Chains A and B, each alone.
Chain A
Amino acid sequence: MADIEKEAANKETVIDAHNISKVYNPDTIPVYAVNNVHLHLLKGEFTALVGPSGSGKTTLLNLIGGLDKPDSGNIYINGVDITQLSSGELIDFRLKNIGFVFQSFNLIPVLTAKENVEFIMLLQGANQSQRDIRIKQLFSQIQLEDKLDARPAQLSGGQQQRVAVARALASMPRFVLADEPTANLDSQSASNLLDIMAKLNEEEGITFLFSTHDQRVIDRARRVIRLVDGKIVSDSAAVATEHA
């Protein structure tokens, strides 16, 4: 127990959410999409947020990702309370700190795979040589060096999602949020994607938080947080700590 606590204490906190709630239809029939949730994520974690449909997984990811604002509570990302940021400040914060992988890939269809990844770096103001080096490295990691100039429509679902992962990592974010990343993939593509994400996590220490109800993903996660009706009902990290 002492070792685990020591290891946790040595790791940098990436996400620290306190008492966050999100209510839809507050004036009519209130629906608590996220209900008084506490979440603490350390650097390098590979965490799955699981739960049935409508349990609040996507809403919680949106709140942590700064895409939506909670009705109550605070969310600290690397010490910054993002609930206090303005809309413009949030856009800049997301660009510099958070990588996103969406369920339906959401690549920009008029850009090639390379341009989709480069787009984020251009928004960050990276110069040509920085972009070239990073693109080469990322496409090597997602094993799509031969698809740089392919448009999304020319790529399979699995390949598109790998490009989406590369795009999420292009800005060198503090963590990556992935909303059901394997939901639209066949088992082989899902397995390939998980391999890549796990490798990035293990070798480069990239923090991943993904929502899923795919058992294959849950099996690969090192920490599993279960959400039901907007509340965290179990957290494997806490269990591990207790057992230890």
Chain B
Amino acid sequence: MILMMAWRNIWRNKMRSLVIILSIALGLFAGISVLGLYQGMMKSRVRNVIDAEQSHLQIHNPNFKKDYEPKFVLPNGPSVLKMVDALPQVKASSPRSITNGMLATASGSSGVQINGVIPDMEYKTSQLKAKIIEGKPFDAARKNQVIIGKKLATRMKLKTGAKLVLTFTDTAGNLVSGAFRVAAIYRSDNAPLDEKNVYVNIKDLDNLLNIPGAFHEIAILLKNDGDVGQVQQLLKQKFPGYQVENWREISPETDLLVKTTDQYSYIIMVIIMFALAFGIINTMLMAILERTREIGMMVALGTTRIRIFLLILTETIFITITGTPIGIAAGWFIINYFNKHGLDVSGMGGEMMSSFGFGTMIYPEFPIGKLFGVLVIVISTALISCLFPAMKALRLRPSEALAR
């Protein structure tokens, strides 16, 4: 009967109950939207890291990443690459020769990381071809071509066809230079990387580095994200003297970002619910003050205080959970819409997003995995919110309440 009374009680003042139910729905919608937006952004960032930057796994000579010295090539690189490619979980792989050097033009210079790549393999692994916004991909018939990032091109005032000089040290420590021509300009969702990374043909770079046929890195893209751990273990067993890292180890800042964003989104949810709690407290307090006489009468007739508390608690929970499905449904609808069509934030700080490695098109995702946590927060809010009004009701003395 308490359940029935609680349900009927919340509809005694329809307008007031509807306002608070809609407030809860709106708060929940806002919270779920923030969670969905963050989840979409993080997923997009992780996808960028995997699909366009680091791949799932990378193999290096254990000494290479200490100082990026070109002499620390991957031992037996071609045969390792062949074995990696033979694994059924591997979608694509790309060998890379890497060195740090100086890019110089007539107007200035800039420190860059020079990546020597096999074009066709790199296109499949890091989507380099898809990121080109000006010019054409590497031409197999031409030597000393370079693909540079848009941000670097803008800063160095470089256009396609322009000449530049790349200077770096070879394996013997000699300073070597090569004149390259800009074949294309690319733009990714990570402006700092665009500014730092330039791509040349692996043969051109290996000749200058004096490491013909060798390379420093194998980037491995897997068919399934879930296979990372298993394949990493397998590669570590197969190549014990090599450094095999997954994307979380290569890009720990991304992993940290994903984890902290999860926590932030819950904090935002709690803040929204905290604000809503005051609305719920106000509503329930009004409902109880209006019913002082009735509650006093119920106690007079023999209703225990725990039953009165349960009645108020149930009313609060009903109000809260009535708003919950509305908020969740609205959140689901909006998130699904933008998940399909994308949310273009280029007009609202696209530069800033790019400088943090995020795309300007966000595809929010309904946070189904966080729904339980959201419900726990909502129910907790209801429980906490009803305490003060309930205490007020429990303090009523029946003789005084009946006299009002």
Contacts and interface: CB of A to CB of B under 8 A. Distances in A.
A122 interface: yes
B241 to A, nearest CB: 76
B1 interface: yes
Contact of B302 (A106, A110, A120): A120
B397 A91 contact: no
A65 interface: yes
Contact of A123 (B5, B293, B303): B303
A100 B300 contact: yes
A111 B398 contact: no
A118 B398 CA distance: 21
B404 to A, nearest CB: 11
Contacts, number: 62
A67 B294 CA distance: 14
A88 interface: yes
A120 B300 CA distance: 11
A68 B397 contact: yes
A106 B12 contact: no
Contacts of B303: 91, 123
A106 B9 contact: no
A62 interface: yes
The number of chain B residues touching the other chain, given as a range, is 20 to 34
A110 B12 contact: yes
B1 A67 contact: no
Interface in A167-188: 167, 171
Contacts of A120: 301-302
A106 B293 contact: yes
A92 interface: yes
B402 A106 contact: yes
A94 interface: yes
B1 A109 contact: no
Contacts of B1: 115, 118-119, 122
Contact of A95 (B5, B301, B397): B301
Interface in B264-282: none
A100 B399 CA distance: 12
Nearest to B306: A88
B8 interface: yes
Contact of A108 (B5, B300, B398): B5
Nearest to A115: B1
Nearest to B303: A123
A58 B402 CA distance: 11
Given A67-B398, A67-B402, A106-B294, A91 B299 contact: yes
A32 interface: no
A99 B300 CA distance: 9
Contacts of A122: 1
Contact of B5 (A65, A111, A167): A111
A66 to B, nearest CB: 9
Interface string A144-172: 00000000000000000000000100010
A68 B8 CA distance: 30
Nearest to B8: A110
Most buried by A among B305, B307, B402: B402
A76 interface: no
B304 interface: yes
Q: Is the interface of A mostly helix, strand, loop or mixed?
A: helix
Interface string B287-327: 00000011001111111110100000000000000000000
A88 B397 contact: no
Given A67-B402, A106-B294, A108-B294, A100 B5 contact: no
A163 B290 CA distance: 23
Contacts of B8: 110-111
A94 B12 CA distance: 28
A119 B402 CA distance: 19
Contacts of A92: 302, 304
A147 to B, nearest CB: 18
Contacts of B403: 58
A88 B306 CA distance: 10
B302 A94 contact: yes
Interface string A84-109: 00001001101110001010001011
A95 B302 contact: yes
A67 B302 CA distance: 10
Given A106-B294, A115-B1, A88 B304 contact: yes
A110 B5 contact: yes
A127 to B, nearest CB: 14
Nearest to A120: B301
Most buried by B among A102, A118, A120, A122: A102
A68 B16 CA distance: 34
A94 B304 CA distance: 11
A102 B302 contact: no
Contacts of B299: 91
A67 B399 CA distance: 5
B397 A171 contact: no
Given A88-B305, A109-B12, A111-B5, A94 B399 contact: no
B11 to A, nearest CB: 8
Interface in A196-222: none
Most buried by A among B9, B301, B305, B397: B301
B297 A171 contact: no
A106 B304 contact: no
Interface in A27-67: 58, 62, 65, 67
Contacts of B305: 88, 91
B17 to A, nearest CB: 13
10 contacts: A67-B300, A88-B304, A91-B303, A92-B304, A95-B301, A102-B402, A109-B294, A110-B8, A119-B1, A123-B307
Given A91-B299, A111-B8, 17 more contacts: A62-B399, A67-B397, A68-B397, A88-B304, A91-B302, A92-B304, A95-B302, A100-B297, A100-B300, A106-B297, A108-B297, A110-B12, A111-B5, A115-B1, A115-B4, A123-B302, A123-B304
